[in-house]
Amino acid sequence: MMMTLKLIGHFSTLSLRAGLGAMVLVLVGCASSSEQADQTSEQAAITEEQRAAEVAAVSRAAEERARIEAEQAERETARQAAERQAQAEAAARAEREQLARAEAAEQQRREAEGRQREQQARIAELEAEIAAARVQTENVTAANGKLEEAIATAEELLDVLAAEQLKYGTADAAGQLAEPLRKDLIADLESRKDSLKREAQALVQ
């Protein structure tokens, strides 16, 4: 009986130990599973963080690329605008220069025409002066001729009057002249002399 009790006791001890061992194994397994789960969760969190970091990096890279492209587009737009403005200014400057050259050419043409008209007027004036001088010279020459004729006529008249004066010395007691006075000739010479003088004066006026 005692033997039996010992066996039972020994068996109980073994069972207890076995149960405790099993519990330890279960606890160890649970702990291992929990640790593995924590590791898996931690790994997942790390992976998620890495993925989020990669996504953020990609997003930042995309934003930077978009910013660079926007700056490049802005600079290109500004360059094109500056180029268009420079072309417009160059075209306006060329147009102003062309207009200025045209105005200068027109001014030179008008000045040349003015000088030509002045020269033509001066030539016409000189020609008129020369013609007037020639006419005046001709008139003076003609007047001198008339005056010479008038002088000659006056000399002839003087000779006739002197001869007529001598006739008074031949008058008789009644005062009759031996030869009649040539009154018609004297009148004709007087008239001719006066006419020549008037013609000469008319030519030089």
**What integer pLDDT is reported at residue 14 of this predicted model?**
47
Q: What percent of the chain has pLDDT over 90?
A: 47
SS3 at position 1? coil
Is it the case that residue 67 has pLDDT exceeding 80? Answer: yes
Q: Domain extents for the chain?
A: 40-204
Q: What does residue 177 show for φ and ψ, rounded to 5 degrees?
A: -80, 145
Find the distance separating the first CA and the last CA of the chain, reported in whole Å.
200
Region 181-190: mean pLDDT is 90
**What integer pLDDT is reported at residue 17 of this predicted model?**
54
- Furthest-apart CA pair in the chain: how many Å? 252
Q: Round the average pLDDT of the chain to a whole number and report it.
A: 82
Tens digit of pLDDT for each residue in 139-172? 889 889 999 999 999 999 999 998 888 887 777 7
Is it the case that residue 173 has pLDDT exceeding 60? Answer: yes
Are 124 and 185 within 8 A, CB to CB?
no
Q: Residue 150's CB: how many other CB atoms inside 10 A?
A: 20
Q: Has this prediction a pTM greater than 0.85?
A: no
How many whole angstroms separate alpha carbon 38 and alpha carbon 51?
19
How many whole angstroms separate alpha carbon 10 and alpha carbon 8?
5
Is it the case that residue 4 has pLDDT exceeding 60? Answer: no
Is it the case that residue 76 has pLDDT exceeding 80? Answer: yes
